[in-house]
Amino acid sequence: MEDGFRLADSKIGIIGLGLMGGSLAMVLKGKCAAIHGIDSHLPTLQLALATQTVDFASSDFSSLSEVDVLILATPVDIILDIIPTLPSFIKQNCIVIDLGSTKKSIVESMNQLPENFNVIGAHPICGKEKLGFENADENLYQNAPFVITPLERTTEKAKSAIKQIVSAIGANLIEMTAEEHDQILAFTSHLPFLLSSVLAHTTPQEFASLIGPGFRSTSRLAGTPSHMMMGILKSNRENVLKAIHSFRKSLDEIESNLRNENYLELEKILNQSQSSYLEVVNR
């Protein structure tokens, strides 16, 4: 037991039994005292119970009144709606963890909660473009980076809880500030989604018969439902705009060299890009 928390003795509540929440419930089942699943979609609740992924399932937040840890696994905009309501249905000293894809706005909202709530921001860097409980996978978190963004008020007990959960699901813990997280993810996650979307949007439908692996892999993220991304883009707007500006400058440079037949400079840029890619993916 570390700092008064033991995962095996704790009741875990998960709001949102989609891909992320459902996968988390699958891998935590049997490693904690009980899992209480909350979702607004009745078929999801029925499937979660039928597969014994959760011990209790409901659409009523009041059923979470006795959980020791509450994990918010909904889209960012819904997390921001839920946080101010937490004092009305969870017990004092409950540990609250979110899995949102942006962090600054969420931890700022968490910081407005009464002091007797143990709060900590988190974001597992994993997922699929196919969402929903039906696509949940108990191996989703295996070896994935799992970022935590503690607040100044975050207790050692809350840190112990998240560390034990991360260890139980086989992920790799990384600690940073919410601001650092959002700056980085604008480039590594949010911009790639937008570029994928632009590629899919600008490619004429009549070209479909000649689409190969390159297009499919590059445009894959465009298959992500837009409602899942809008909260992310709105809450990380300034960082995403900076990432777009940086990308546009690089694309303009490539366009200029190609237009002016400056092929040596163009090849130099492409070689630098290849080196950067290999350095990043082989870390």
Q: What digits encode the pLDDT tens for the residues 140-183? A: 999 999 999 999 999 999 999 999 999 999 999 999 999 999 99
- Domain spans in the chain, listed from the N-terminal domain onward: 7-176, 181-281
Cα 56 from Cα 11, distance rounded (Å): 11
Whether 17 contacts 38, CB under 8 Å = yes
Cα 157 from Cα 69, distance rounded (Å): 11
| Residue 283 pLDDT | 77
Cα 48 from Cα 229, distance rounded (Å): 25
| Residue 1 pLDDT | 46
Identical topology for domains 7-176 and 181-281:
no
CATH number, domain 7-176: 3.40.50.720
CATH 1.10.3660.10 correct for 181-281: yes
Q: How far is CA 106 from CA 112, 152, 200, 230, 232, in A?
A: 10, 14, 31, 15, 11
Order of all β-strands in the sheet with 118-124:
56-58, 34-38, 11-15, 69-72, 95-98, 118-124, 145-150, 172-175
Please give the model's pTM, rounded to 2 decimal places: 0.92
Dihedral through CA 165, CA 228, CA 134, CA 74, nearest 10? 40
3-state helix, strand, coil in the chain (%, to 5): 55, 15, 30
pLDDT tens, 14-52?
A: 999 999 999 999 999 999 999 999 999 999 999 999 999
